[in-house]
Structure 1
Amino acid sequence: MNVDNFKSVWQQQSTGTHGAIEINQAKLAEIKINKQMKALNKMKWARIIESFVFFVIIIMLWKYIAAGFTFSAPIISAFILTVFAIIGLAGNIGQIVLISNIDYSKPISQLQTDFYRVCAHKLQLTKLLLMSVPFYLAYVFIGFDLFFGIDLYQYLEQHMIWFYSLSSLLLFIVTVWLLAKLNYKNISKEWVKASIQFIVGKHLVNMAEILNSFEQIES
């Protein structure tokens, strides 16, 4: 085999190899996307189930309100919890829409943002639950009314009402401040990173760091 023939064979093999690599890479990308789509589909069904749960809670609370509509602590408490349930339902519906509209043709930074929003659902749900903590008396008032038929508020002394009111207000302020800090933009802070990792997992911390990097590059 002369030099020219050798070069020709080498070029053919090289072209074939590059073609095979490109095909394999495309196939791997397709497989990865299919896996992600299956995972997203599972997430969507989970959000649908959560939406149904929130919807049932809203219906039950409205029935409770309608059954004994008076300007009392249990009824006001039911209104407060209904607001939280509606927020939870709206958040889940938003998640379903977001997952359904995931577009892999978007720029990587936008796609990363969408994936972060999807994966941060548990974090947002935890925030919602924590936001209801300052209104802990709402659960107490409804519980006493349901199980004992007692409007506990009427039996509280004035100084206890002031104590519970001030403690709830302080707890609300602290909770709002903490939850406002608990987002990907503050992922460099150790307590934020540790909190997100504890609530959701390491994968969301990694996504938050990547998202932060994208935003820093774009800015």
Structure 2
Amino acid sequence: MGTWKHTSTYDHTTYTSTDITQLTLNADGTFIQLRDKVNSNDPDTHDYGALKGTYSVDAEGNITISETYYADNLSSFSIEGADWTPYDHPNEYKGPVLVIGNQLYTQAFLIAQGLVSGIVGTWGVEGMNKMWDSDANAYDQTYFKYELVFMNDGTVTRNRYESSTGTFGLPESSTGTYSYSNGTFTMQIDSETYTNKVTIYNNKYLIFGDETSATANAFIKQ
């Protein structure tokens, strides 16, 4: 519970954009999320918005969020004066959540699947997205599982599973190479190269940052 804030900065060809997200989790199972988007070409213009709804956390550490209302065109980074509009068909998301001290992670980490040694082993995460498809006039509910399997010889296999029922079949798999040293992780797979600072926490969680900061994806307690 409490209020948590995350700031992301993205470099584009001719400008830099900054996204600020503030998430307040209340004791009564409701949440409010504030958003501020701004770019360096027009730093005095802000795109403010908000969401609110309900959340729950189960015994396995998974959070389920249901977005029930939204508010656009806010005058500031505040819900004061917000004109809330209900979603006709609320969006719902489920996935693991992790709190370490003053840091909260809702994405960008994997969980050890069995025994691991350093980074070597299998790491994965499961979740669910339920969003309204206006073309089909029905919910599109997708269960997903993502795995990275690191071997001692420097090879890595990436497995992606999707299902509409929660029962997974064979994954979409790719194989590549990786290196991990002094908290820096590099993976080359499917003609792409990824470099991140990473943290292995309690030999159970593999937390991804960006190229310079291991905590870049954390929401910070306010």
| TM-based fold match above 0.5 | no
Larger Rg: 1
Between structures 1 and 2, the one with greater helix share: 1
Between structures 1 and 2, the one with greater strand share: 2
TM-score by length of 2: 0.23
TM-score by length of 1: 0.23
- Which one scores higher on RCO, CA 8 angstroms, separation ≥ 6? 1
